[in-house]
Amino acid sequence: MSILINESTRLIVQGITGRDGGFHTQKMKAYGTNVVGGTSPGKGGTEVLGIPVFNTVYEAVEKTQANTSIIFVPARFAADAIKEAADAGIGLIICISEGMPTLDVIDAYRFVQMKGAMLIGPNCPGLMSPGKSLVGILPAQIFKQGNIGVISRSGTLTYEVVYHLTANGMGQSSAIGMGGDPVVGLYFRELLEMLQNDPETEAIVMIGEIGGNAEEQAAEYVKNHVTKPVVGFIAGQAAPPGKQMGHAGAIISGGGGTAAEKIAAMEAAGIKVAKEPSEIPAMLKAAMK
């Protein structure tokens, strides 16, 4: 098994008639993901790539029994899109939209939790279960089915690490890009628990970056609850304090959130931390012996 998505995933695409929604729907469908419908207000009754389009998520769920949604809508509409999906009974919501106001994310995520659903993102690349399902914008050609779980705050670093793993003959069980905003849905702790409980995952790669204290909390969780080998990497090791580097959440403030602090916490928890992404496969092989 993999975590969160697999062959039984029934996906709807919110914003399927837009440029990005249509482009990535084609990629996901070509990979084999079961895209059962899409939504675009006012365009219900049409089709995109042979996929039915509905005016609302409620109608899409009723007609297709969808259980997962991916959101490609402008940032100002994304909070409402997230809440509509959760209210319609979608269990897993992936929000690709970038630039959502933090207060909008907080409001939408509280609603998602109240409805008992799960949110990945916003501002994330989505997730991949190689050989089973792709829900997001990840480049399918670099992935290989295997037993390494990958969780990351950075989309492009996810791709780089997966490329190195595949090039070294190490396939992936699941790969999840959580998003780099100050507030997102599922984060390190929840995903570490899922990978720890996944019998197909034998080792875990955890990719973090400067800003916040999520990696420190994750290290504490690994120390107390994770029995599988974990290798980490922290981006932003040369970032000056007080300067945002890339993601909205990647900022060192108040003397906390530095790369050095995160690396120290991870190493204290028994996590091997790579200096460069290319070192990760060798470190994993050594840890898995």
Active site residues: 247
Q: Which two tokens stand for residue 261?
A: 């602090």
Residue type for 186, please? L
How far apart (Å, rounded) are the C-alpha atoms in residues 209 and 279?
Answer: 17
CB proximity list for 214: less than 8 A, separation 6 or greater: 153, 187, 188, 208
Residue 11: partners with Cβ closer than 8 Å, 6 or more residues away: 28, 33, 34, 35, 36, 66, 68, 69, 70, 133, 135
The H or E element containing residue 175 is strand 172-177
Q: Which residues contact 202 (CB under 8 A, 6 or more apart)?
A: 147, 148, 173, 228, 229, 288
User: What three-state secondary structure class fits 217?
Assistant: helix
Cβ atoms of 32 and 108 closer than 8 Å? no
